[in-house]
């Protein structure tokens, strides 16, 4: 996901995406703890996506 894709979205869409990514991060952390996660790189990708969405939300204000 690139920041340029997020600039055109509304605040409601961004908040929905943020909630979805946070839930995904939670499930990935649970899988990591139970040794079910094979690709640990997914954690950093999701964290970076959350940061990009948060940046886009704060830039709107």
pLDDT of residue 24: 97
Tell me the pLDDT tens digit for each residue of 8-61.
Answer: 899 999 999 999 999 999 999 999 999 999 999 999 999 999 999 999 999 988
Task: Give pTM, 2 decimals.
Answer: 0.89
pLDDT of residue 52: 95
Q: Are 28 and 43 in contact (CB under 8 A)?
A: yes
pLDDT of residue 6: 87
């Amino acid at each position: 996901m690139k920041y340029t894709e997020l600039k055109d979205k509304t605040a409601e869409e961004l908040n929905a995406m943020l909630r979805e990514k946070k839930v995904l991060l939670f499930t990935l952390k649970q899988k990591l703890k139970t040794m079910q996660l094979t690709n640990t790189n997914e954690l950093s990708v999701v964290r970076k996506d959350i940061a990009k969405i948060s940046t886009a939300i704060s830039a709107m204000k």
